[in-house]
Amino acid sequence: MKIVIVGGVAGGASAATRLRRLDENAQIVLFERGEHISYANCGLPYYIGGTIKEREALLVQTPRAMKDKFNIDVRVQSEVTAIDRKNKTVSVTDLRTGKRYDESYDKLILSPGAAPVRPPIPGIEQEGIFTLRTVPDTDAIKEAVDKGKPSEALVVGGGFIGLEMAENLHSRGIKVTIVEAADQVMAPIDYEMACIVHRHILSKGLKLYLKDGVKAFRKEGKRVKVELQSGKLLAADMVILAIGVRPDVSLAKDAGLEIGERRGIKVNSYLQTSDPDIYAVGDAIEVKDFINGSDTVIPLAGPANKQGRIAANNIYGAGEQYHGTQGTSVVKVFDLTVAATGNSEKTLKRMGMDYRKSYTESDSHAGYYPGASPLNIKLLFAPDGKVLGAQAVGYEGVDKRIDVLASAIRFGRTVYDLEELELAYAPPYSSAKDPVNMAGYVAANCLKGDMEIIHWDQVDQLDRDKVFILDVRPPEETSTGSIEGAVNIPLNDLRARIDEVPRDKEIVVYCKVGLRAYIAYRMLVQKGFRNVKNLSGGYQLYQAVKQAEEALK
């Protein structure tokens, strides 16, 4: 059998090596229009920043290694320009010589990836404006930083690449400004969790403009002037465009293959396109959202690698299905780690799905062991308890918690299962009640009726004439701020001062993160108070949103 693969990196390269493991006698040809067939996309910003010292460390596989180890015919700087489905050939142009030729195939795998979005903004082709997707892109940016010695940089876009580039340019001593058209950075997480990130970014001395896009670029001397939609004028020595990526579907579209509503190549669960002899994988394809079943485009390396393997298996008759992408992701933002899996609240609302949510803040490991830091988890779950999504922000241990929650989602588990999980514990690593267990306990309490909750975004709408807001923190904690109109009765004094709490009003009780308020809640309801709610996430989350919004005014 002869299999032709268009595009390397995660999907194409993993398909090629899997094919060889399945069939020693197959003829496998991999075309890549760039110079490199497999490189670490996610490591590119860290090479620019200097954390990764050697450029060669970014190159996962080379054509020589693929030939020697797997006997794969790798042809770099070779662009496939057309597919003749009837005759089962592809047209190829050797970009070094200009030679054109046809290559036959029995099965074809498309892995063309995605291209950085470059909207038609006036002046966008000016010198000093960069995108980051490939090794040559990286080389160009690194040269501009190393030789040009820029003092100021502007990053357009607050997604993964934008934030990673902002951090790495900042680590090179460059003043960085981030411009994001949405009201938050990091689209996979929800607004209130992003506010924690906003506050941290600002604490590092970066400038952050939200709800403001770029209207025009113009060159003035060696600097780039940037006009925002709001009319603000900014200037920088270099600009990084990190607006996002778009599936590269031109080859598939020209061949008459079906393109989905989200502008990705349409594939079935076996990763076959509308032509059963042509498979497609990676950033160019539409996948099923694992939670809600809708068609979506999620450009992540992990799913692309899995898809490459599955496509190879199915070419040899495995009948293996790809069950969808849940979007598990993690990113380092200076000292913070930000992670998400499953659907966000924004997505659940857009899809019209019934859901509940809760917030917890736990120590990353046992509080009595030095170095414990706060770890915030937002849990989204169905009325029957099934976990639909999770987000985590913290300084330590975020990645392992999101991985546990991602596994729970993949296997259809509930918040009640999170309560029962037996997770590794030693004081330097966790607590006897792991943050994941705690998230499960709180969510389960809500569903079982042990606790009614209210959320940060409902507080300012409360009618103070009808609602009694009870702050159960000790007085010294209230010096950091409090909710307007709240009455402070410390938890330890509440039993003795219970008569100060009115029985004819709704009671909203809060503490720093919600645990002491839960104790107060249980006390109040057992003493006959009938309309009590606990502020989920506590004052800490409410304050994080308010502080971030105030700082960005």
pLDDT tens per residue, range 369-409 = 999 999 999 999 999 999 999 999 999 999 999 999 999 99
pLDDT of 121 strictly over 80: yes
Question: What pLDDT is recorded for position 62?
Answer: 80
pLDDT of 291 strictly over 80: yes
245-247 and 114-116 strand pairing: antiparallel
Question: What pLDDT is recorded for position 37?
Answer: 80
pLDDT of 65 strictly over 90: no
Q: What are the distances in angstroms from CA 78 to CA 58, 74, 146, 278?
A: 21, 9, 31, 19
pLDDT tens-digit map of 299-314: 999 999 999 999 999 9
pLDDT of 60 strictly over 80: no
Rg (alpha carbons) of the chain, rounded to whole number: 27
- What percentage of the chain exceeds 90 in pLDDT? 93
Q: Among all chains, which residue has been given the structure tokens 């690194």?
A: 142
Determine the Cα–Cα distance for residues 111 and 119; give it in Å rounded to an integer: 24
Question: What pLDDT is recorded for position 70?
Answer: 95
Rounded mean pLDDT, 504-513: 97
Conformational region of residue 312, where left means phi above 0, alpha means psi within -120 to 50, and beta covers everything else: alpha
Four-point Cα dihedral 228, 168, 77, 129, nearest 10: 20
pLDDT tens-digit map of 495-504: 999 999 999 9
pLDDT of 338 strictly over 80: yes
* Both tokens assigned to 366: 């046992």
Question: What pLDDT is recorded for position 251?
Answer: 97
Rounded mean pLDDT, 260-269: 96
| Band of pLDDT at residue 179, cut at 50, 70 and 90 | very high
* 42 counts as catalytic: yes
- pTM of the predicted model, to two decimals? 0.95
Rounded mean pLDDT, 63-68: 88
Hey, how many other C-beta atoms are within 10 angstroms of the C-beta on 363?
20
| Catalytic residue, candidates 42, 195, 446, 511 | 42
pLDDT tens-digit map of 89-119: 999 999 999 999 999 999 999 999 999 999 9
Burial class (CB in 10 A: 0-12, 13-18, 19+), 221: exposed
- What percentage of the chain exceeds 70 in pLDDT? 100
pLDDT tens-digit map of 2-48: 999 999 888 999 999 999 999 999 999 999 998 888 777 788 999 99
Determine the Cα–Cα distance for residues 520 and 11; give it in Å rounded to an integer: 53
Conformational region of residue 413, where left means phi above 0, alpha means psi within -120 to 50, and beta covers everything else: beta
